[in-house]
Structure 1
Amino acid sequence: MSIERIFILHHTHVDLGYTGDRDAVCGDLVRMVDLSIDAVAATQDEPDAERFRWVHEVSWPVLEYLKRPEARRNELFAQLRRGDTELTALYVHPTDLFDRDSFEVSIDRACQLAHDQHLPLNTAMFSDCPGIPWCVPDILAARGVRYLSAAPDFIMSMPLDLERPFWWEGPNGGRVLTWFTEWRKSWYAEGLVLGLAGDPVAATANVLDYIRQLEAEGYRWKCLALHLAMDNQPPRPNLLEFVRHFNAVQPERQVQLATNRMFFEYMEEQHGAEFSVHRGAWPDWWANGNASAAWESACSRQAKCILRRTAGVAARLGRTRDAALVDQAIENGLLFDEHTWGHNRSVSHPWSLEARLHWAKKRILAGNALHAARATEERLLAGLADRGQLVLVNSTDVPYSGPVALPTAATATPMMWRDEAGQTLVTQSSTTTGETLAWVELPASAVCRFRATEGAPPEPTGLENAFFRLAWDAATGAVRDWVDLRLGQSLLDGNAEWTFADIIHERVRRGGRKDMYDTAFGCANPDAKRPRPEFVRTAGHRGKTRPKLVCGPVFSALVTRGKVPGARFVRELRIYHGAPRLDIILRLDKQVNTEYESLYVAFPFAALPPAVFIENAGAVYRAGEEQLPGSATDWHSVGDYVAVGGGGHTVLVVPHDAPLVQVGDIHTGKWQRRLQFERNHVFSWVMNNMWFTNFPAYQEGEVTLTWSLTASAGAFSPAAAAAFAQAARTGVAVSFGGMP
């Protein structure tokens, strides 16, 4: 016999909505704190093995509860200090829309509470999402959080191929001892599947059968953790009936309700030197849902960039940001980015009141985050520019060379601008976005003041600058080549199926989303749950797209207009004259379609040998190599950039708005256990409605998406990539004092 102790980790799975009206569910989750206090208090004088214990899966319900005047603060804190109730570190369940700042700010809320009230805080938990950014072990370890307890949803993922527990090591060396639930027992509902809340006799038999199965498979530890939770469901004091019965009939083993800390500390006490160490990213299979709302995800990403920019500007100007607006932007962003997006009927009944109302309440959070971030910047810059003056502030600690969008009031008439050092800004308008752009060169952290001046802008050139040249098909607008003139070579794969920056529509040839995965439980083989259908894919630049060449003093652009099934598009490929930078701007007008479909943008790069590097939430990993076995392979989340190396040069893609990519090929529906690819092709996955629940069933209306690209000689440099991405995404703050 190996398993002597069984720890039942009882919690509710915190879905901010999903099971009902979002507002009502959030209220229930907060009130559930009172229920847990009552349940714990009722058994606090019982023997240790017969006490009721409760785990707060994330800190949001606790922090919201403590805002209420009727909160039983002292009782709650006493239970937390005693260890009968557990506070955990994550604020909500994150998606890959979280950046590093989001993790640090939100985790610090629980850390601050623990510090102020002298509470233990040893564990972080995440449930549902089968993956979390690689920065997390470093962030947790730096705050003294030693343990990570995960319950990955198996419906839209493959299981981790690792022995549990294991030490998960972050890119900076921080480690957390990590446990994850087993896929055969329905992640956090393990205890319910085993019947622990039902007949104690049957439950005991089920647990013993499961123990024998694990031991026969080579499970080698003296203890086992079983999660028992369900979406937004209250504490179950009747679990103690199972505990008492099991301990009475199985004296050689002991079962008890426990906290994560109790389980992990016992594990370490018994086996502390035996756990393996794994260093690698844990890409999230659920990240595909972030492309189910392209406009809202873009709002969330833009809000974060503005907050980064305003933090830099405030430091350089010696000003203070409006704390209330910053908090509003952060809170709305966190609550949008967390994993509960829709009602459980969001796809099965997309036109129902429940689905529509839930999504309306969710999506407004992204808009509110962006609105508050913009208001933060507007208030921060107020009064900075005199009348007739244009002030540009480089918010970063690296020199900025790039485009700047000017305020509408500063573009009433075409003009040039000159600063005190003699730098001249010329302007040019984009017919695609309606913006007026100037090209500017700013030193690191610089504040430069410009005034309007007379002068003739330089003569426009073709679709070429000193760095790049684009060749295209005059009939379709399809890009035939992208040449780096400094390297003297093409950056594209001339044999690729899809042309550079083309838009691709995808559907299932026969059937729909149900033919891509199996939502049933109880499957013994994970591959059996993964149907692999045939797809039909249609490119946007294989018909008439009315290409148009636009030349100006700031940039030259190739503009095409066309359509793919269910969407009209305008695509602008923009080469700036001042630097090795190529921007792609895609304006989509999406029509409603509740059947499965996806949209991609193709980047078929030529560099060999194949090597693709992904940055997400401040951590960089090589796709397919530096990731945990069983983590997401078919798609990856990108924070600031994806880099393609090989062949003596590097190509960098910075997605401003669309956070998902597929590497090597379009992999949707493959469910690969390991990512292997022979070509350095990258596909930006801009839209999908792949999910059967939670996420929106359709997208509609206009959205504008942007990518910035560059290339350089030599091997991939994370520092150089970060500098380009920071400039492209965070950029320059602009203040205009009004026309003189």
Structure 2
Amino acid sequence: MQLNRKWKIYVIHHSHSDIGYTERQEKIEQYHADYVRQAIRIVEDARTGSRPEWQGFKWTCETFWAVERFLEKASPDELERFASALRQGDIELSGTYLNMTELIDYDIVGKKAKAAGEYARSIGLSVNSAMTADINGYSWGYSQALYDAGIENLLSCVHTHHGMFAIGRKQTPFYWETPKGDRLLVWNGEHYMLGNDLGLSPGAVLSYTIRDELDTYGTATDHWKLAETRIRRYLAQLESEEYPYSFALVNVMGLLRDNAAPNGDVMAFIRQWNEKHGEQVEIEMTTLSRFFEHVRKQTAPIPTYRGDWPDWWTDGVVSTAVHTQVFRDAQRTLRQVKRLANGRVSLDEKRVAQAEHQLMMYAEHTWGYHSSVYEPWHPMVHALAVRKEAYAAEASRSVYTMLDEVLHERGEALLAAGLPFRYKVINPYDHVFRGVACLYLESWEPSMFPNGFEVYEEADGEPVIPHQMEVVSRGNQISIVIRLAPQEERVFRIRPNGSKPAATTSSTRLRGNDRVSDLMDLYESKPQNGIVLSENHIESAHVCIRWTSSDGIVSWIDKATGENLVRSGSIHGAFTPVYEVTQAPSEAMMADVRRRMGRNRKGPDVRRYAGRLAGVQSVVQGELYGVVELRYELEGTSHYSLYLKVYQDIARVDVSVRMHKDSVWDPENMYLSLPFRSGEAEDQLWLHKTGANVRPGVDQLPGTCTDYYCVQEGMAFLSDRRGLLVAAPDTPLIQTGPLEHGRRLLQGQQDGETGHPLYAWLLSNYWETNFKATLGGFYEFHYRLQWGPEWDRPEKAFRQCEALNAEIPSFRTSS
């Protein structure tokens, strides 16, 4: 095949870090530490001439996590030899710590992005380039974290299985503008094993991105024929697409697996190729920084794009929803620990770093053993799963131990006989907090107040603060509504009532002896408990929520404006559950039916069911709030209940979803409808993502995913005059695309079709390899909604979401 120009192929040789896909996590650590040793030996043998065919060998450390594993075990001699290879340019560090999902928060991402550079500076070097592999995107804040760590260049080796590259083409550069207006040069690369498809790694030939008559795996019958044919075809294809450069970048692995060892024979093949074909197609093994130096010298214009780069592959996190919930709570609590300790309590930075490491390991992109779906009983599937889950568990244990210690330093009293009923409440934020604080009595302690009790502030003793007590698993929860200035702490006490409140045998309001509330009051008066509840609605001073047996929650009236905060024409009512299942033809096709789903994450024959409201029950009615349970019937579950906690004096509703999910092997999805609006005719959906607030379908790169997003604290519908926010402490995925199977729209293709009903994506097991195969079990997920004119900017809305997601610190104190 004749080529029309002289070509040069740059080759990046590396090992893709997949923590637990091909082996046990601790075995992967051992492998990667040894791969650095192997790379050192290869470059030394090449430089000394003992293996002249390896001269020109370069090795790129894809992740600094792998380098850390080497540094932990290396001898002084190995440390010096590694540093020498780095200084000579034979081995290079990537500024990437790990290939991540979007679960991790900005504080930890920013800290870990600096790790490679800090080590490099210790040996007199710097790191200005990073690469990722096998992931399909990054939260916008990741670009800022890299830039702030000194990274100027990013190689993105996307994997388009169930995903897609950005910008509409690969092998192309663009500048990615960060949230603060800085710029990273990105090379939008090919799959990280394209070099194996092209035949650059003898004995490790792949037919994955290239499928042709030369299809092979491992050792090709005629390796040179395969390489000559595929390399020329590939370059000819670039020419036919009016590709502006005379060079291309290819990644290659030394073996046919993720977590592969370096292979000097890749360089031996390159030398042989150049001797035979170098006048037409020259191949050079290089490093990230050298490649980007070459790109920056080109004269072809490089476009700039600004916005989020949503990851197609973060969806694995909802295949292990309980442990993701534990992870998110630990990550959020760690931020709270740092706030509470700030300037008052010294933290052990080593313990903080260890907790952050555990959080990083859980949020890393690998979500299980490669055969988890087609042999879910395999011991390795279970072993790797519990190790993955243990990262979240260990992070939670470590973080809560630090929280206990910090609270004790701030005055928390441990359980003891005769402990006074005295409570300290702390606002750890740098902004005013107005909301609910919870005080707790042990299970037996209410009996110490036979006539009841009252809550008051210790500073003045008056006035008595309205409260509401509810029995919960922790004991007796006493809720109060308070306002605290930034960093303010206040002390509250509980004391006995002077006399027992009078009671009558029954209410004189409209309620029959059957205790069914299905009539409206004849008189306009505020009920004594502040909450009105009937069989089809619940109402407070701020909101009236109505439901029907056929459609669930159909209206959510903001009583300040009279506006319905549920969008008209919504397919499903607010918080209606939606269950999907695509049945496999047989057990033997459990993986294959998933493989064919592509970016739909369901089959064309998907069966979709909406929950049907089956009953309503009052749970709690009190002075501050009322709770109602809505029971649903839903396929795929044996129990499903929705709890609405409606506050009387705050425009706020807390929602809890409880379910018992059946164990099903077929691919499934579970969603929760969120068809809300701000109440204004023109509002905008905002999402809180790692390091940035974004408008989906607006603030993102062309050609990126528009179906779903991974959020940190929640979402908000905002206008210039008012807003509604939805804090989501437990479930990170928000579905914005249609649920129906069909062509998926990329950013730039919407043609105004951005108003699809929104859903929280609760659960999924659709992936054919390393997702957890069954979603069966018990779950409880929470959401907290507030609305009003004060929530008119994303910064304020998500600051409040964060405060709602983390319970404000309050504890028993004796001093």
User: What is the TM-score of this pair, normalised by structure 1?
Assistant: 0.91
Q: Distance in 2 between matches of 1:733 and 1:498?
A: 37
SS in 2 for 1:188: coil
**Equivalent position amino acid for 1:578 in 2:** D
Tell me the CA shift for residue 327 of structure 1: 2.6
| 1:226 alignment counterpart | 250
SS in 1 for 2:664: coil
| 2:32 alignment counterpart | 29
| 2:358 alignment counterpart | 332
1:13 equivalent in alignment to 2:16: yes
1:487 equivalent in alignment to 2:557: no
Tell me the CA shift for residue 403 of structure 1: 2.4
| 2:813 alignment counterpart | 737
CA 1:733 to 1:432, structure 2 compared with 1: closer, same or farther past 3 Å? closer
Among candidates 181, 184, 195, match of residue 176 of structure 1:
184
Where in structure 2 are there 5+ consecutive unaligned residues? 203-222, 414-418, 447-451, 502-527, 533-537
Q: Distance in 1 between matches of 2:396 and 2:741?
A: 31
Q: 1:678-717 alignment to 2 at 5 Å?
A: 679=755, 681-713=757-789, 716-717=792-793
1:428 equivalent in alignment to 2:469: yes
* Residues 307-329 of structure 1, C-alpha deviations (whole Å, 9 max, x = no match): 1111111126x112243432332
* Residues 569-625 of structure 1, C-alpha deviations (whole Å, 9 max, x = no match): 232111222322211111222232221111111111256557322221121222112
Tell me the CA shift for residue 539 of structure 1: 2.3
SS in 1 for 2:73: coil
Among candidates 73, 76, 91, match of residue 85 of structure 1:
91
| 1:417 alignment counterpart | 455
Q: Distance in 2 between matches of 1:31 and 1:180?
A: 30
Q: 1:130-529 alignment to 2 at 5 Å?
A: 130-162=136-168, 164-182=172-190, 187-198=191-202, 199-200=223-224, 202-229=226-253, 230-248=257-275, 249-271=277-299, 274-315=301-342, 318-383=344-409, 384-385=411-412, 387-388=419-420, 389-407=422-440, 409=442, 412-413=445-446, 415-419=453-457, 420-421=459-460, 422=462, 424=465, 426-429=467-470, 436-439=477-480, 440-455=482-497, 459-462=529-532, 463-473=538-548, 478-508=552-582, 514-515=592-593, 517-518=595-596
Q: 1:557-572 alignment to 2 at 5 Å?
A: 557-567=627-637, 568-572=639-643
| 2:123 alignment counterpart | 117
* CA RMSD, Structure 1 to Structure 2 (Å): 2.8
Tell me the CA shift for residue 27 of structure 1: 1.3
CA 1:364 to 1:430, structure 2 compared with 1: closer, same or farther past 3 Å? same
CA contact 1:395–1:730 (8 Å) conserved in 2: no
CA contact 1:165–1:178 (8 Å) conserved in 2: yes
CA 1:697 to 1:626, structure 2 compared with 1: closer, same or farther past 3 Å? same
User: What is the TM-score of this pair, normalised by structure 2?
Assistant: 0.83
Quick check: which has more Rg, 1 or 2?
2
Among candidates 605, 608, 616, match of residue 537 of structure 1:
608
Q: Distance in 2 between matches of 1:251 and 1:265?
A: 23
CA contact 2:466–2:623 (8 Å) conserved in 1: no
Where in structure 1 are there 5+ consecutive unaligned residues? 520-525
1:556 equivalent in alignment to 2:626: yes
Tell me the CA shift for residue 200 of structure 1: 4.6
- 192-201 vs 93-102, greater mean Cα deviation: 192-201
* Residues 158-210 of structure 1, C-alpha deviations (whole Å, 9 max, x = no match): 3323451111111111211111223xxxx101000111112356424422221
Among candidates 67, 80, 95, match of residue 62 of structure 1:
67
Tell me the CA shift for residue 49 of structure 1: 9.8
* Residues 355-399 of structure 1, C-alpha deviations (whole Å, 9 max, x = no match): 111101111111111121111111111151464221111111111
Q: Distance in 1 between matches of 2:140 and 2:740?
A: 22
| 1:600 alignment counterpart | 671
**Equivalent position amino acid for 1:160 in 2:** A
Tell me the CA shift for residue 45 of structure 1: 5.3
CA 1:572 to 1:2, structure 2 compared with 1: closer, same or farther past 3 Å? farther
**Equivalent position amino acid for 2:608 in 1:** R
SS in 2 for 1:547: strand
Tell me the CA shift for residue 645 of structure 1: 3.9
| 1:51 alignment counterpart | 56
Tell me the CA shift for residue 532 of structure 1: 5.3
CA contact 1:395–1:731 (8 Å) conserved in 2: no
SS in 2 for 1:297: helix
Q: Distance in 1 between matches of 2:660 and 2:478?
A: 24
* Residues 676-720 of structure 1, C-alpha deviations (whole Å, 9 max, x = no match): 535362100011111111221112332221111122349951122
| 1:523 alignment counterpart | none
Q: Distance in 2 between matches of 1:403 and 1:279?
A: 39
CA contact 2:613–2:630 (8 Å) conserved in 1: no
- 124-133 vs 701-710, greater mean Cα deviation: 701-710
CA contact 1:342–1:696 (8 Å) conserved in 2: yes
Aligned residues: 724
Q: Distance in 2 between matches of 1:360 and 1:495?
A: 44
Tell me the CA shift for residue 100 of structure 1: 0.6
CA contact 1:634–1:667 (8 Å) conserved in 2: no
| 2:215 alignment counterpart | none
CA contact 1:477–1:545 (8 Å) conserved in 2: no
CA contact 2:672–2:760 (8 Å) conserved in 1: yes
Q: Distance in 2 between matches of 1:653 and 1:161?
A: 31
Q: Distance in 1 between matches of 2:662 and 2:724?
A: 33
Tell me the CA shift for residue 536 of structure 1: 2.2
**Equivalent position amino acid for 2:279 in 1:** P
CA contact 1:322–1:380 (8 Å) conserved in 2: no
CA contact 2:591–2:769 (8 Å) conserved in 1: no
Ranked by relative contact order (alpha carbons within 8 Å, sequence separation 6 or more), the top structure is: 1
Q: 1:629-648 alignment to 2 at 5 Å?
A: 629-645=702-718
SS in 2 for 1:533: coil
CA 1:592 to 1:509, structure 2 compared with 1: closer, same or farther past 3 Å? closer
Q: Distance in 2 between matches of 1:472 and 1:650?
A: 23
- 402-411 vs 570-579, greater mean Cα deviation: 402-411
Identical residues among aligned pairs (%): 24
CA contact 1:573–1:585 (8 Å) conserved in 2: yes
Q: Distance in 2 between matches of 1:427 and 1:256?
A: 72
- 484-493 vs 43-52, greater mean Cα deviation: 43-52
CA contact 2:583–2:666 (8 Å) conserved in 1: no
* Residues 258-293 of structure 1, C-alpha deviations (whole Å, 9 max, x = no match): 11111111111233x721111121001112211111
CA contact 1:314–1:380 (8 Å) conserved in 2: yes
Q: Distance in 2 between matches of 1:465 and 1:538?
A: 32
**Equivalent position amino acid for 2:245 in 1:** W
* Residues 43-94 of structure 1, C-alpha deviations (whole Å, 9 max, x = no match): 1357999411111111011112111153611111111122111111121111
| 1:522 alignment counterpart | none
Q: Distance in 1 between matches of 2:444 and 2:605?
A: 50
Tell me the CA shift for residue 517 of structure 1: 4.8
SS in 1 for 2:492: strand
SS in 2 for 1:243: helix
CA 1:704 to 1:459, structure 2 compared with 1: closer, same or farther past 3 Å? same
Tell me the CA shift for residue 554 of structure 1: 2.7
- 148-157 vs 531-540, greater mean Cα deviation: 531-540
